[in-house]
Amino acid sequence: MAAGNIKGLIAALRKAYPDAYCSLDHADPFQLLMATILSAQCTDERVNLVTPALFKKYPGPAEMAAAPLAGLEKLVHSTGFYKNKALSLKEASRAITENFGGKVPRTMEELLTLRGVARKTANVVLGSAYGIAAGVVVDTHVKRLAFRLGLSRHTDPGKIELDLMKAVAKEDWIWFAHALVLHGRAECDARTPLCGKCPLEKLCPKNGVK
């Protein structure tokens, strides 16, 4: 997509989703990290149903690290892959407690040392909890829309992220990913995109835009 069309895309997204934000309910960086780990291959809506009871019982990293694994598995069961997710919650919390003084790290490098954390999760936490634009969140919606809108031809999330970081101004990275997620849910569905009512229709490559 040409630079001029990128500006048009950003403007259209700004108009449609001016207040785009993270849809995972959280009160602090720790809760956001745990919720994002749970959101892998699971809807944010489902995660938001699970986390209130989880955080009430285990409100901080020390409590989560000391939690019985079976108890965690029961609480997060409905998010899928519950055994692996429960272990990630426990081990990431243990590392935060032992290695980072009970505080969720504020750098990509440190976050990536935690079990269950890859770049997507780290970008969510840095962007939405700390306001740090270290990269662009690439989830299933962002991946799909980046391809459909001609922003990337790659399938690897890391390469898609690099393409988006080059195409979009850094000050827009955090908001931009949230906006694409909202647009993917509202209009640009994987199976039946609502092209006729899409605010980005005139900028979409299917209409010949390069």
135-150 tens-digit pLDDT: 999 999 999 999 999 9
Average per-residue pLDDT in the chain? 95
- DSSP secondary structure letters along 8-59: HHHHHHHHH-TT----S--SSHHHHHHHHHHTTTS-HHHHHHHHHHHHHHS-
Task: Give the amino acid at 25.
Answer: D
Q: What is the pTM of this model?
A: 0.93
Tokens of 156: 């690897």
pLDDT of 176 = 98
**DSSP symbols for 137-157:** ---HHHHHHHHHTTS----SH
| Active site amino acids | 120, 139
Q: What average pLDDT does range 56-75 have in this prediction?
A: 98
- Class of residue 37 by CB neighbours under 10 A (exposed 0-12, middle 13-18, buried 19+): buried
Give me the domains of the chain, ranges plus CATH numbers.
Answer: 3-21+136-207 (1.10.1670.10), 29-130 (1.10.340.30)
